Amino acid sequence: MLKIWAVATAMDILRNIKKKRNLKLLITKLEHRSQLILKNKEQNATVDQVKSLHTLKKQVDQLQFSYRQTTWDFYESILTFFASILRVFEIKQKLVDFIERILQVIGIARIGYDLVNFGSTISGLVDITQNSNINRRRRKGL
């Protein structure tokens, strides 16, 4: 059973590497596109370009958050993989216990990180809602 767990964890590591690479490429493309829009903005920006720049910024922020989450998953997978290998070959139980404690600390830190980002996500949603209400009032002429 532990051997299957080790193989599954190794596959998880490979999936995380691929996801991190794809996210990094996408973030780079979006940042490049936003730089082009900023250059055009300095010349004569239209309202659509400014809106698309704001949208790109939100997308980049979301992708960077996803990238950080994938990085957490990657490190957890590596530590879990090493703990599984050590258990399969019954090598140094103290090291396995140490790795498990590190995984617990990472899990607690990740929960705190997620709570902080959840708060910023909620504040972002409140900003979006307030902006849409303001735009609605402007269209109605209030």
Top pLDDT among 36 and 94 is at 94
Band of residue 47 on the pLDDT scale cut at 50, 70, 90: low
pLDDT band (50, 70, 90) for residue 4: confident
pLDDT at position 138 is 61
Q: Is the pTM of this model over 0.75?
A: no
User: How far is 15 from 119, CA to CA, in rounded Å?
Assistant: 29
| pLDDT for position 17 | 85
- The residue ranking higher by pLDDT, 105 or 45, is 105
Give the mean pLDDT of 129-139: 59
Give the mean model confidence (pLDDT) for residues 102-122: 80
Phi, psi (rounded to 5 degrees) for 141: 85, 25
Tell me the pLDDT of the chain averaged across its residues: 76
Whether residue 38 is predicted with pLDDT greater than 80 in this model: the reply is no
* pLDDT class of 132 with cuts at 50, 70, 90: low
